[in-house]
Amino acid sequence: MPAALIGAASQPNEIDLRRIARRLTGRVRYRYVAPEVRPLAGGYQIVAPCCSRNIDAAGGVIDIARIEYDEAERRWNLYYKDHAGDCWSLFIHSQRLERVMDSLNEDPLRVFWQ
């Protein structure tokens, strides 16, 4: 983990990074791609190859989700990438990482796994 990401904050950390990566194996959509969980200040970013070609016609790696921990509110925030607007939008927040991961894995509205 880069030294710049290690400090007083509890996120990112190796344990939660592994928990997120392990929980991604339970996703409903695009089970044939290999997503990657990357640490970032305050949380994690999930990227994966764009096999549908809906976002990247060349099939390159695209942003799927961001998971951030809000220390002040003591909750997890799950964001999806608005590719048209090139910005992150809040999808759900919860005190439980498991609930956030369930929303990401189930994705009935197809906002993550496009």
Q: Provide the β-strand partners of residue 67.
A: 44, 78
Instruction: Please list, in sequence order, all residues whose beta carbon lies within 8 angstroms of the beta carbon of residue 111, skipping any fewer than 6 positions away.
Output: 80, 91
Instruction: Tell me the pLDDT band of 60, cut-offs 50, 70 and 90.
Output: confident
> What's the whole-number average pLDDT of the chain?
88
- pLDDT at 58 > cutoff 90: no
Per-residue pLDDT reduced to its tens digit, 43-53: 999 998 887 77
- Rounded average pLDDT over 1-23: 76
pLDDT for 3: 40
- Rounded average pLDDT over 49-78: 87
